[in-house]
Every structure is written in C-alpha cells, then in structure tokens.
A = this chain, B = another copy of it.
Amino acid sequence: MEEQNKKILLVEDDPNFGTVLKDYLMMNDYDVVHAKNGMEGFEKFKKDDYDLCILDVMMPYKDGFTLAKEIREKNTDVPIVFLTAKAMKEDVLKGYKVGADDYLNKPFDSEVLLMKIKAIMQRKATDTVADSKQFEFKIGRFDLNSKLRFLKFDGGEPTKLSPKENELLRLLALHENDLMPRELALTKIWRDDNYFTSRSMDVYIAKLRKYLKPDPNVEILNIHGEGFRLVINNQ
C-alpha cells in the first residue's frame, strides 16, 4: 500500500516567505501548492482536493477571511489554518467565525506549525473519513450530487441547490432513515447553535421538503426536540 502524501494549499502573497514555507513543508513530506493571492488560491482550491489550507490573512484584493468563506461554501470539512500578522485578537476571532481550525501568529516557529498540522491531520483521520468522501446519493427517485450542488428528479433537469440547502440535504442523506440530530447540523453547517440559527435551519427544512415533494415516498420527518429523519419508503 502506497502512502499518499497529504496535500496542502498554501496561500501567501509574500513571495520570499511563501517559498521558504513551501520548501520547508515539502521537506517534511507534504505536497504543497502555493498560490500568491486569494483569487489564485480559490482557483487552485476548486481544481483539486486538499487535506489542509493554510491562508495568510493579510493579502491584497482578497483577504484570507473572504477566501475562507468561499472555500467553506464549497467544502465544510477541509481544515483551515490562518496566518495572522500578530496577536490581533479581532483577526483570531473572525477566523474562528468563518470556520478556522487554528491560527498562527507570525513570526512563528516552523516546528510548531508542523505539530499543529500533524495534530489537525490526526483529528481528521479519526473523523468519519468515509462520510466526507461521499457526495452522491440516491434519494428515492432523486439523485443528489453534493459536489455540483444539484438535485435531479427521475434523471431530468437538475435543480440547483444553494450551499446551505445542499449541506443540509447531504447531512440528512448521510443519516438516511436514521436520526440526524439538530445539533449536528447546527454545529456542522451553521457553526453555532442558538435560537436564530435553529430557526434558520427550520426554514431550510421547509425548502427541502418542497424540493422533495415530487416523490411521495421521500419525506423529512421531525423527531420533536431531537432532530430530523429523512425517510425513504422503497416499495
């Protein structure tokens, strides 16, 4: 069995620092793709699958946060680490809000970075890997392609799904016929669990139910106080 190197997307506008960091990571057996700005970073992200993104916060045109948000719309799971100029508390908090896994204050120790990367990769490894790789689902007479964010009925014209619609339906599908806890969706998709995000989720459930109406054998049931259940009656 051939151990595949982990792939890292590094987005850093400082050419010197970026190159040094890239080389250092490659020396430590990571495959690194280096983008010089936010735009390029997003292009490269769309073209490939990465195990980790390291984003500089301060970049011209498109800063690290904006990029992170775009990345999160495409992929809720990939770990993101920010490089912040100094101990800017605001930046750190903002980073976590857009779904960062960690941050590092520049200048930082390269060994510490390596350890952080290792720790993050390990966490991911213990997470349900099988789940994150699954992007296509058969839901009754529907086909959900979660990567392209569309839903087909009877193989006809696909309906486009918004990022949130897509993620929610995907989570439900992953738990097909079983309980999908409210809390899970809220922490995974909304990254926060409060009254308003909860109501927001209910709104999305309503939207999904509309989409799924054409097939009477598919329904989203509520389990009061617990969550939802995507039931597929196959007859």
Interface string of A120-163 (1 = CB under 8 A from B): 01110111110100000000000000011100000000000011
Report yes or no: B109 in contact with A89, Cβ–Cβ below 8 A: yes
B93 contacts A111, C-beta separation under 8 Å: yes
B187 touches A224 (CB 8 A): no
B191 touches A122 (CB 8 A): yes
Asked whether any CB of chain B lies closer than 8 Å to the CB of A225, the reply is yes
Please determine whether B178 and A148 come into contact, CB atoms closer than 8 angstroms: yes
Contact B122 A93 (CB under 8 A): no
Q: A170 an interface residue at 8 Å Cβ cutoff?
A: no
Complex Cα–Cα for A179 and B100 (A): 31
Closest to A188 in B: B125
Q: How far is the CB of A181 from chain B (nearest CB, A)?
A: 8
Q: How far is the CA of A162 from the CA of B226 in the complex (A)?
A: 11
Q: Contact string, A89-118, partner B, CB cutoff 8 A, digits 1/0?
A: 100110011001110000001011001101
The CA of A122 and the CA of B184, in the complex, are separated in Å by: 9
A6 to B87, CA, bound (A): 28
Residue total for A at the interface (Cβ-Cβ under 8 A)? 45
B118 and A96 contact, CB distance less than 8 A:
yes
Chain B residues with Cβ below 8 Å from A224 are 162-163
Contact (Cβ within 8 A) B119 A93: no
Are B183 and A77 in contact, CB atoms less than 8 angstroms apart? no
Given A125-B188, A126-B127, A147-B179, 7 additional A-B pairs, CB 8 A: A93-B115, A96-B116, A100-B119, A121-B187, A122-B187, A148-B179, A149-B226
* Chain A residues packing against B (C-beta within 8 Å): 1-2, 77, 89, 92-93, 96-97, 100-102, 109, 111-112, 115-116, 118-119, 121-123, 125-129, 131, 147-149, 162-163, 175, 178-179, 183-184, 187-188, 191, 223-226, 229
Those 4 A-B pairs whose CB atoms lie nearest each other, nearest first = A96-B115, A125-B187, A122-B187, A126-B127
